[in-house]
């Protein structure tokens, strides 16, 4: 793995070129261009705010605590991070099957292609950060939130999420070449993960529910739970994950990365033969 990382670093310029190409191709025939990376999560946030912040505001506010007065910020923070997750997983799954000609002709580490999809979607997430910060400033001025040291949760959340997504991208892209059902299966998994992760609702809603203890423990084994708690903790310090959840998230993400890298290297000969 160390030699693979070194080889990947030596071809970082190729990675940058692939990311720029993917972004250019994705938006070249779009009038609004990169604005779509902002419009979609903002539109989703408006819908969920109407449902849970207006229609069910009483039930929602009871579990949100200090976030009740700034629920739109809570929503947008989670949805922006989720768009990075869902888009990266969807596009990384077919990163090899959709670029077979490049893969068989370019002399670069093949990991560049799925990692490039994750990096490209991160660029879209980063483009939305100014909007997120502007919304947070408005709530901070009105005293609805009080950000401080918790702002340091952002780089930690991004780093752990990147580790997890790269591991999953390597794993899914390789297996999808050999079993095309993986791409269809991931469409269902992504939908399930959206509601099985505290994105539009607080983690306390699950912890205080009547679910069996073993099911709550299984729920927190999902690394995305701790990652999205870190994202929410940027503005709401009380949402910062506890030591056990944070350790589970970091260790789980690292294990996924190791498993993804190992699987990719083991399957690479069969993948190249199939392509």
Q: Report pLDDT digits (tens) over 100-112.
A: 777 777 777 788 8
Provide, rounded to the nearest whole percent, the portion of the chain with pLDDT above 70. 87
- The confidence score (pLDDT) of residue 105 equals 73
- The confidence score (pLDDT) of residue 127 equals 85
Report pTM.
0.88
Q: Report pLDDT digits (tens) over 3-48.
A: 666 666 676 777 788 888 777 776 666 656 667 667 778 888 888 8
Domain spans, the chain: 5-274
Measured between alpha carbons, how far is 213 from 207 in angstroms, rounded to an integer?
9
**62 falls in which pLDDT band (50, 70, 90)?**
low
SS (H, E, C) the chain: CHHHHHHHHHCHHHHHHHHHHHHHHHHCCCCCHHHHHHHHHHHHHHHHHHHHHHHCHHHHHHHHHHHHHHHHHHHHHHHHHHHHHHHHHHHHHCCCHHHHHHHHHCCCCCCHHHHHHHHHHHHHHHHHHHHHHHHHHHHHHCCCCCCCHHHHHHHHHHHHHHHHHHHHHHHHHHHHHHCCHHHHHHHHHHHHHHHCCCCCCCHHHHHCCCCCHHHHHHHHCCHHHHHHHHHHHCCCHHHCCCHHHHHHHHHHHHHHHHHHHHHHHHHHHHHHHHC
- The confidence score (pLDDT) of residue 40 equals 78
Average pLDDT value for the chain: 84
60's CB contacts (< 8 A; 6+ apart) are 52, 53, 68, 71, 201
């Amino acid at each position: 793995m160390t030699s693979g990382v070194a080889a990947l670093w030596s071809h970082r310029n190729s990675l940058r070129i692939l990311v720029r190409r993917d972004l250019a191709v994705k938006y070249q025939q779009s009038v609004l261009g990169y604005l779509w990376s902002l419009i979609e999560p903002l539109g989703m946030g408006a819908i969920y705010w109407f449902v849970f912040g207006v229609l069910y505001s009483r039930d929602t506010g009871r579990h949100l605590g200090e976030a009740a007065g700034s629920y739109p910020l809570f929503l947008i923070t989670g949805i922006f991070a989720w768009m990075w997750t869902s888009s990266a997983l969807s596009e990384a799954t077919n990163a090899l099957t959709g670029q077979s000609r490049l893969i068989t002709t370019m002399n670069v580490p093949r990991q560049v292609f799925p990692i490039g999809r994750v990096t490209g979607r991160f660029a879209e997430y980063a483009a939305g950060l100014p909007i997120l910060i502007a919304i947070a400033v408005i709530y901070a001025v009105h005293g609805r939130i009080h950000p401080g040291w918790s702002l340091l949760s952002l780089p930690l959340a991004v780093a752990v999420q990147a580790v997890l997504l790269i591991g999953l991208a390597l794993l899914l892209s390789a297996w999808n070449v050999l079993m095309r059902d993986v791409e269809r299966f991931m469409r269902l998994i992504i939908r399930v993960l959206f509601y099985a992760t505290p994105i539009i609702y607080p983690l306390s809603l699950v912890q205080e529910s009547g679910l069996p203890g073993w099911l709550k423990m299984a729920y927190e084994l999902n690394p995305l739970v701790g990652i999205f708690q870190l994202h929410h903790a940027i503005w709401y310090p009380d949402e910062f994950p506890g030591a056990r959840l944070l350790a589970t998230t970091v260790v789980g993400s690292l294990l996924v990365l190791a498993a993804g890298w190992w699987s990719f290297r083991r399957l690479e000969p069969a993948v190249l033969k199939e392509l």
